Amino acid sequence: MATQWRPLRPFDPEDAQLMESQADRVVLMEEIQPFLIEIGSNWQFELYISLLSLLGVAPQDRSFSAVTTIYDDTFAGDVLGMCEAFLDYNKPLHADLKLLKKTLVDKLVISNTTLADPTKVEWIRRLFQQGYHQFTDPTSRTLCLLWALEFETKLGLHINSLESATTFAKELLALDPSLQLYERYAYMELNFGNAKMAQRICDKTILSLASSLDKHRFLYYRLKLEDDPWRSLYILYQAYYPKADSLHKAEKRLKKQKLSMKHILSPQMQRELSENLANDVDTALVQVRQSGTASRLEVPVIAICLYHQLYVHCIINGKSNILPSLKEGLSKLESLTAISPRKNALERVHPGQIIREWFIVSALDFLANSNPSPKEWREATLIAISTIPSQPVFAQLFVAAYKNNTMSQQVQRFVQYSIRSSMNKFDSPAPLIWQIALLKELYRVEKAGVENCCARHAWGSVAIRRIRQLFEDALSHTSWRSEGFVALTILYLAESVNAALWRLYLRFELKVGQVDRAIKVLYRSIHKCPWSKALYLDSIKVLRPYVDIDTIQEILSWLVAKDIYIRYES
């Protein structure tokens, strides 16, 4: 069970029993008072996020992930998780397209163990409540409410308690009736399957908004409720021209004239819709250039405008125009790379990158639902990873699209280009680049199969040496990775990935039957990452059948001597 440590007060009656029962473990408030320092508001919120992450609740937005605990040595990432499942359980490598939808609309990544633990649930609820009442920054306060609403949404789906989540949402809206919370409320009803309620929220909000830019946020969810793309186009048209005929009336007219749905918009209406969307894109671009920032509360409206423009253009002119429209949209965003450097050292993701990333994900999601040809899909994933090489979802889809032996040369060229570019800047390649290379190699050996033979013989000595050398190269580079800001934070990030790679290296050697090499890898990894609790525990979980009891006792004694055994793991 998770416990929350706190110093005790000697004159507090409630603390007297604890002081008597565990006198050797007591730390008094007076003892730590001289060491308490004031922390800036930015750091307070980042530390607040880190505490949530320890409880299994992490923001989906990667701009929040600057403060990463040094103890994060798990396989939580998409690519690392796939590699671990393949090496440990022979689970087939598969890129899940549902990740695109989660990246688009989810604000939190919540582990199932957290949702199943009532103690953690109550603790997290209390943290959201404390954050709203204690933070002074309005953005941070609203974020606490947004996250609380999404947490209750996923908890309601997990325990099948939809009514309590809906009641909680209405209480939050009474507390802060902001557009961001209404948007999350529409998302909640959409997830709960209450299509009529979600439609009512979106329609009423769209009618009440004066700015066409603000309407795009609710139009995005409104279009999710429609199966027919031409109905979606008419809803977009209605947002600009509220006095136009209702959708029901327009459909009735088409039925009377015995026309198909693609005639619901006349050529003139199609041109007007395209012109209005182009104007909104230009206006949103001007706003971003003037503000120079991307709000943490919501998706930048320029990204949604560009997606709607791509959507309309492809429905009217054919879905073969998705890739050209994607490239055109990205060219419009090129000017954003020069604006607004990071406001503080904690912001790891540039505002322009946030916009491009969401736009690319939405375009990929639209393309995936349009039955693209393999060539179109490969080209789209290449555009995505080339534009945002730090996005794990893009990496996973990119390698999967080029997984054939002949196609994987494109992945190899991308990896070599990234390594060469980093080395030319006297830097090490990003850890994700090595993960891409490893995933590509595992896709190659997966075809050999191990049903009728062990991996050592099925994969062959050449492939085994190639993967082993890849691990050695990756581990020699990630230890001195630098990105030019917050040196300590980047050291933690690099070392966290380093520990996870060591753990994969250990599993690889066992997979190919090299027990002696695996034991050497274990000792090397403990020497390089002595703080990693998972590495010590791997000696029990992974290596236990292959080593004697004295070796296990020795490793466990190190674990106890370093006090790593008392650290709570989420």
pLDDT of 463 > 60? The answer is yes
pLDDT value of residue 93: 86
Closest CA to 425 of 498, 352, 484: 484
d(CA 443, CA 400): 8
* Interacting residues of 429 by C-beta distance below 8 A, sequence separation 6+: 418, 419, 422, 423, 477
Residue pair 140/146 in contact by the 8 Å Cβ criterion: no
Higher-pLDDT residue of 184, 68: 184
pLDDT of 502 > 80? The answer is yes
Task: Give 422-457 pLDDT, tens digit per residue.
Answer: 888 767 788 889 999 999 999 988 887 666 678 888
Average the pLDDT over 535-545 and give the result.
83
pLDDT value of residue 484: 39
pLDDT of 481 > 50? The answer is no
Average the pLDDT over 529-549 and give the result.
83
pLDDT of 343 > 80? The answer is no
pLDDT value of residue 466: 94
199 phi and psi, to 5 degrees? -65, -40
Higher-pLDDT residue of 287, 124: 124
**482 band by pLDDT with thresholds 50, 70 and 90:** very low
Task: Give 297-320 pLDDT, tens digit per residue.
Answer: 678 899 999 999 999 999 999 888
Contacts by residues 318-322 (CB-CB < 8 Å, ≥ 24 positions apart): 319/370, 322/363, 322/366, 322/367, 322/370, 322/372, 322/376, 322/380
**118 band by pLDDT with thresholds 50, 70 and 90:** very high
Higher-pLDDT residue of 61, 154: 154
End-to-end CA distance of the chain, in Å? 10
Q: Which two tokens stand for residue 561?
A: 């001597």
pLDDT value of residue 54: 83
Alpha carbon distances (Å) from 160 to 119, 125, 152, 198, 531? 18, 18, 11, 19, 39
pLDDT value of residue 453: 73
pLDDT of 493 > 80? The answer is no
d(CA 146, CA 502): 37
pLDDT of 77 > 70? The answer is no
Task: Give 101-112 pLDDT, tens digit per residue.
Answer: 888 888 888 988
pLDDT value of residue 409: 86
pLDDT of 150 > 80? The answer is yes
The overall average pLDDT reported for the chain is 83
pLDDT value of residue 212: 86
pLDDT value of residue 3: 44
pLDDT value of residue 84: 86
pLDDT of 206 > 50? The answer is yes
| pTM, 2 dp | 0.85
Average the pLDDT over 12-31 and give the result.
67
**96 band by pLDDT with thresholds 50, 70 and 90:** confident
pLDDT of 259 > 70? The answer is yes
**342 band by pLDDT with thresholds 50, 70 and 90:** very low
pLDDT value of residue 310: 95
pLDDT value of residue 176: 84
Strand partners, 57: 110
Return the minimum-mean-pLDDT range out of 58-67, 129-138, 165-174: 58-67
Strand partners, 332: none
pLDDT of 2 > 70? The answer is no
pLDDT value of residue 219: 94
Give the containing element (helix H, strand E) for 59. strand 57-59
d(CA 496, CA 329): 36
Higher-pLDDT residue of 567, 9: 9
Give start and end residues of each alpha helix (H) in 116-161. Answer: 118-134, 138-159
Average the pLDDT over 327-336 and give the result.
87
DSSP state of 428: P
pLDDT of 344 > 50? The answer is no
**Strand blocks (E) in 63-118:** 108-110
Task: Give 278-291 pLDDT, tens digit per residue.
Answer: 999 999 998 888 87
